[in-house]
Structure 1
Amino acid sequence: MFDSVGWLEILVLAVVGLFVLGPERLPQGAAWLGRTIRQIREYATGAREQLRSELGPEFDELRKPLEDLRGIRNFNPRTAVTRHLFDGENPLDGITGNGYRPTTPPSTPKPQQRPLAPGERPPFDVDAT
């Protein structure tokens, strides 16, 4: 329930509660809020258990579409289109931030490089200079 509430929001609520209720009634208000939340959770747990007992194995089949709906909350269109069009292969893997994808042809193996012998001159390509 409090997955998306951060410490800053809790601090703001405490300060607002301090101003609205005052320092005398703030502990009583916090206790009332805690009891109410606990009671609501108990009601929700009881309803879930009652549905589970009445529906039996069909309850898990009912939960599957609900889990799919929860997945929509974290929907990423780029991932969905990639999965749909390319069967999970991401064609954008390896692309840097500027859009450049370094390519190395798989058919050309890199030649073995050996260290130069003492006094040996490095190779020189006249056309490249």
Structure 2
Amino acid sequence: MFGISWGEFLVLIVAGLFILGPERLPGAAAWLAKGVRQVRDYANGAREQLRSELGPEFDELRKPLEDLRQLREFNPKRAITRHLLDDFPEDTGYKPNGFPAATTPPTNQREEQRPLSPGERPPFDPDAT
């Protein structure tokens, strides 16, 4: 509906019952629905008026707004992963990070770890500390 889940909607109804009471809640819901409908009608009317006045330039005006809408759905983790690990759209043979594209998926080069025997010391890497 308005970006809220059913659980949140139920909490709003219960809060409305406590705040407004059962007598005034239906009237308040009708008033809210009427207000939302009126705002939606105003927005649609303004859009249609702009479309009729600007003509084909209206679509050019909407393009940057669509780009901004896509930014709202931007996921930085997915974008970084895509740019670092995926290939360029062009078949250049190089990834965006400058390294040659791998022809085969990398294998797990880490050897299997076995549990330590009693009294055995864990491996030590002086360069890692």
Whether these two folds match at TM > 0.5 is yes
The correspondence of residues 4-15 of structure 1 with structure 2, limited to 5 A, is: 4-15=3-14
Q: Which runs of 5+ in 2 are unaligned?
A: 90-94, 109-129
Take 1:54 and 1:41, find their aligned partners in 2: how far apart are those partners?
A: 20
Q: Which runs of 5+ in 1 are unaligned?
A: 96-100, 104-129
Match of residue 88 from structure 2: 87
For residue 43 of structure 1, what is the amino acid of its counterpart? Y
- Secondary structure in structure 1 of the residue aligned to 2:59: helix
Q: Does 2:107 correspond to 1:102?
A: yes
User: Per chain length, whose mean CA-contact separation is higher, i.e. which structure has more relative contact order (CA < 8 Å, sep 6+)?
Assistant: 2
Q: Percent identity?
A: 59
| Runs (4+) off by over 4 Å | 83-86, 88-92
Larger Rg: 1
With the length of structure 1 as denominator, give the TM-score of the two structures.
0.63
With the length of structure 2 as denominator, give the TM-score of the two structures.
0.63
Cα distance change of structure 1 residues 12 and 62 upon mapping to structure 2, 3 Å threshold: same
Match of residue 72 from structure 1: 71
Take 2:78 and 2:63, find their aligned partners in 1: how far apart are those partners?
A: 21
Q: How many residues align?
A: 96
Match of residue 40 from structure 1: 39
Report the CA distance between 1:72 and its aligned residue.
Answer: 0.7
For residue 88 of structure 2, what is the amino acid of its counterpart? D
Listed one character per residue, the Cα deviations across residues 71-109 of structure 1 (whole Å, up to 9, x for unaligned) are 1111123444444894247979x97xxxxx338xxxxxx
